[in-house]
Structure 1
Amino acid sequence: MSEEKFSVEEFEKKYVARLENRSLDWNVLKFQEEIDPAYKRAQMRYIGRGATANNDSNVITAEHFTLSTMVLPPGCVGPLHLHDDVEEVFFILKGNVKALIQVEAESEIHEIPLGERDCISSPPGVYRGIRNDGDEEALMLVMLGAVKPNLPTYPKGSALEELRIHRAKEREGIINGK
């Protein structure tokens, strides 16, 4: 069996993601913004497609995790959501935010201030979110600990959870030909 010669050019095509080839996706989470304009934010994917699984052919194929950057405008919120299967990491590159943590059995939302180069890892089964109370946009890295995480859920009774349930029923109807 012959070995193929290593090609740095092919390696670069497969494993290097450059900023110049990316754009901010303000639509990936637009369904949340339609519920509340404060949920406006943009994502730029680098590795994997994330929980939304958007068809972005410009990403490095994930083998174990996903990585993206997120822009959170002043006054905006990444709403509370729960991943039942993966941890999620927020690493703050620019700005000051508050991480929002809620244990499902409790009603209290805990706020943890985070600044530049601060990091928080939220384990599976804990509601998490992020809020920018500052006057400048925040920029962060977001990592999820699986190639294709389950879709997140939202707090029971919230408008986002109602929308998720409705969309799931619509999707199931389409799959079943109804």
Structure 2
Amino acid sequence: MSNNFSIEEFEKKYVARLQDRKLDWNVLKFQEEIDPAYQRAQMRYIGRGATANNDPDVIEAEHFTLSTMVLPPGCVGPLHHHDDVEEVFFILKGKVKALIQENSYSEVYEIELNERDCISSPPGVFRGIKNIGEEEALMLVMLGANKPNIPTYPEGSELEKVRKERTKEREATIKGE
């Protein structure tokens, strides 16, 4: 080991402890405002994800993001897709259905997942998740890039309309309009 190596600095930079985390019920609040069934919370560990929330306590991502997600009974992570990354859901607790759709106009397929089951959705495929159990579901969520693009939603959906509005507002802010 180098004389300049500090285990204290290493720990500060590369360790994220549960005691320092809190569930963020607001990061996806814009979805819940469209439909209360979209309520869910994230707890970030590595990277800021596609929402790019500004959590100073996350481990800086180099190649992927990692968070946990809590999904209350009956709630849904709505159909969306990432054009640039795969997304992995690993079920830690609960019973869910993964929702898979090839494109905005095709059939939505359901795949039941239980504790310690995993699904990986490739870029460009719409995916969502629904808690079909009696208790909250807890899962790990990984995205395959350190700064994924903002997801899109099925064409014509209320969420896609909101995403387009938010994108225009964001671009106008960047341009100083």
TM-score (norm 2): 0.97
Whole-angstrom distance in 2 between the partners of 1:133 and 1:118:
15
Quote the residue 2:132 is aligned against: 133
Quote the residue 1:84 is aligned against: 83
Whole-angstrom distance in 1 between the partners of 2:48 and 2:104:
31
TM-aligned CA deviation for residue 86 of structure 1: 0.1
Quote the residue 1:150 is aligned against: 149
Which runs of 5 or more structure 2 residues have no equivalent in the other structure? Answer: none
TM-aligned CA deviation for residue 170 of structure 1: 1.3
Quote the residue 2:98 is aligned against: 99
Percent identity of the aligned residues? 78
TM-aligned CA deviation for residue 168 of structure 1: 0.9
SS at match of 1:93: strand
SS at match of 1:14: helix
Which runs of 5 or more structure 1 residues have no equivalent in the other structure? Answer: none
SS at match of 1:104: coil
Question: Matched residue pairs, number?
Answer: 176
TM-aligned CA deviation for residue 106 of structure 1: 4.8
SS at match of 1:149: coil
Whole-angstrom distance in 2 between the partners of 1:177 and 1:91:
41
Quote the residue 1:168 is aligned against: 167
Q: Does 1:25 align with 2:24?
A: yes
Whole-angstrom distance in 2 between the partners of 1:53 and 1:4:
36
Deviations along 1:95-129, one digit per CA (max 9) or x if unpaired, are 00000000016521000000000000000010000
Whole-angstrom distance in 2 between the partners of 1:16 and 1:120:
26
Quote the residue 1:9 is aligned against: 8
